[in-house]
Chain A
Amino acid sequence: MYPAPFTVHRPASLADAVGLLASRGDDARLIAGGQSLIPMMKLRLATPAELVDLSAISGLADVSGRDSELHVGAMVRHRAFEHDVVLDALPILRDAVQGIADQQIRNRGTMAGSLANADPGGDWGPVLLALGAHVDVSGRSSSRTLPVSELFVDAYTTALESHEIIHAVRIPRPRQPANAFVAFKHRTGDFATASAAVRLEIDADGACTAATLALGNVASTPVLARGAGDILVGRHPLDRAVLKMLREHVAETCDPFEDTHGSADYKRALAATVAVRAVEAAVRRARGEKVDVRLYW
């Protein structure tokens, strides 16, 4: 299968890339790894007359600034998160990358491109929501920083203007490794039927002092379970009554579509379960345990 004919531009700078998008308007699409865009183009679901390629711009492929904030350039491939020992504070990133597609796609696809694509089933969305991450965006007349919580508007739709480019993702480094992502996938590498990303802070007595929980593929965008903080903070997270309330809140927060993977009620129940698994994993990590979330697969 072949895409419709197009012209490709390989600008050497972000400013040039923005200029190309601004001048070409809706006829132009950005390409980073292309692992979502190219399949769409081959099926002619996307027919851009112009592609603006980011891979020739230097400085976008770096992961840096690891002390207080991880700075992830737009061309950083998924595989960067598979082995980096610096990510001991962020085991959630390794949890997520292990389930993304396959090695070939992880070698080419990018975190920023995945966010910009805004597939409801993408794994990075709930993870970065739970971590309180931001995206640095370059546009025609200015740059801005957007919290990931404001990035996703609808399925495949972000808050970016057509001339704007995510040039970096910024992830605050948590003080504790009490974070985890658990996805239920029908087959390894599929989009999740439901997923949950959680970041906790636990005090010396085992009580939760902070909590953020986000859910994936159970709505048209990744969603924050906004009541998770009220339910978990001040309590022991693995207390049965607490987890029951958490399950109910997660099930209410979901707005899933029925499809071949299950009914809406099935997905609500599944989301509640993966949320509990993610909380369990995060608590165990707070205690210093090494947890492999693939045991939950």
Chain B
Amino acid sequence: MSASTGEPGAASPVRMTVNGVAIEREVPPRTLLVDFLRRDLGLTGTHVGCDTSVCGACTVLVDGRSAKACTLFAWQAQGGSVTTVEGLAAADGSLHPLQAAFHEKHALHCGYCTPGMLMSAMDLLGREPAPSEADVRRAIAGNVCRCTGYQNIVAAIMHAAAHVAPAKDAL
């Protein structure tokens, strides 16, 4: 993306693949990835929690790796692939095994942290198909939950890892 001519901060094109779909929009450079996803693409599954890079409610995958979308500009994903929670379920609506595990193990109450937890779990399962409980807790150390006490979230991720194929081939 070349420098804008005209006033600083003028909109310019951003292109990336989101949940497998090629998209292009014109946005100002200061547009955060989380707001690009929510406002420009209507993908409101990714949440803004603290907006200060701590809580992880905004976690998505960028090129297969977890990242806090409130701490990235949209142009930093230029030419790359972004996966949000909306990209987990199959085209027919059937849940991703990780989502099914969260359901099975009651790993959410209010659900606000859940998309971020799922995407951090996807990062983990993409690089470690047989994680220990310690691995799981480290993988979600950047995701805060105010409701569950984490126990069932950890159990759900362990359950998904043990009972499903590695997540990396699912997206």
Contact = CB atoms under 8 A, between A and B. Distances in A.
A39 B71 contact: yes
A189 B68 CA distance: 15
B35 to A, nearest CB: 8
Interface string B44-71: 0000000111001001001001111011
Contacts of A9: 3
Given A5-B30, A51-B29, A104 B120 contact: yes
B72 A5 contact: no
Contact of B1 (A10, A43, A98, A104): A10
Contact of A7 (B3, B32, B142): B3
B73 interface: yes
A108 B52 CA distance: 16
- Please classify the interface of chain B as helix (H, G, I), strand (E, B), loop, or mixed, using the class held by over half of its residues: loop
B33 to A, nearest CB: 10
B36 interface: no
A104 B123 CA distance: 9
Given A6-B30, A38-B73, A104 B68 contact: yes
B138 interface: yes
Contacts of A6: 8-9, 29-30
B141 A49 contact: no
A5 B53 CA distance: 20
A5 B8 contact: yes
Contacts, number: 97
B166 interface: no
B71 A108 contact: yes
Interface string A188-214: 110000000000000000000000000
A56 to B, nearest CB: 9
B142 A42 contact: no
A4 B7 CA distance: 13
B151 interface: no
Contacts of B87: none
Nearest to A1: B51
B112 interface: no
Given A35-B53, A189-B141, A7 B71 contact: no
A282 B142 CA distance: 29
B138 A103 contact: yes
A34 interface: yes
A9 B53 CA distance: 24
Interface in A24-68: 34-35, 38-39, 42-43, 49-51, 53, 55
A101 B142 contact: yes
B76 interface: yes
A39 B28 contact: no
Q: Which 4 A-B pairs have the closest CB atoms?
A: A102-B142, A5-B9, A107-B65, A8-B29
Given A8-B3, A42-B70, 18 more contacts: A1-B52, A6-B9, A6-B29, A7-B3, A10-B78, A42-B51, A102-B56, A102-B142, A102-B143, A103-B66, A103-B138, A103-B141, A104-B123, A105-B71, A107-B65, A107-B67, A108-B72, A189-B142
Interface of A: 1-10, 34-35, 38-39, 42-43, 49-51, 53, 55, 79, 98, 101-105, 107-108, 188-189
